[in-house]
Amino acid sequence: EIVLTQSPDFQSVTPKEKVTITCRASQSIGSSLHWYQQKPDQSPKLLIKYASQSISGVPSRFSGSGSGTDFTLTINSLEAEDAAAYYCHQSSSLPLTFGGGTKVEIK
């Protein structure tokens, strides 16, 4: 099973600041890495697919990069509505696995 390690676990950020979340895979997964946002009491929402592909309707301040084992989700100019948990997820091999999550709090 592929293990995804996210960091940090928690981040407290002021509005307009840039946020960077990393996800490291225990073995190479190519670009089969996806990012989700989950707000309190809501289901997860797909933000980025295949490491860097944007999703229709997702604000352009969200971007992804990386390949192989190291990936990054970047939120440029954080807004109050971005307070949420963020998860990485690999679909390279079964069983699919998720990272442990990063909670982003707005100061």
* Interacting residues toward other proteins by CB under 8 A: 1, 32, 34, 36, 38, 42-46, 49, 55, 87, 89, 91, 94-101
CA distances from 85 to 2, 15, 29, 32, 56 (A): 21, 16, 23, 20, 20
Cis peptide upstream of residue 95 (ω within 30 degrees of 0): yes
Cβ of residue 102: shortest distance to other proteins, in angstroms?
Answer: 10
- Measured from the CB atom, is 41 or 80 closer to other proteins? 41
- Taking the complex as a whole, the smallest distance from the CB of residue 33 to other proteins amounts, in Å, to 9
Rounded CA separation 9/92 (Å): 23
**Closest CB to other proteins among residues 24, 49:** 49
Give min distance, CB of 87 to other proteins, in A. 6
Residues, the chain, total?
107
Shortest spacing between CB 2 and other proteins, in angstroms:
11
User: Between 75 and 87, whose beta carbon lies closer to other proteins?
Assistant: 87
| Residue 18, φ and ψ in degrees, nearest 5 | -95, 135
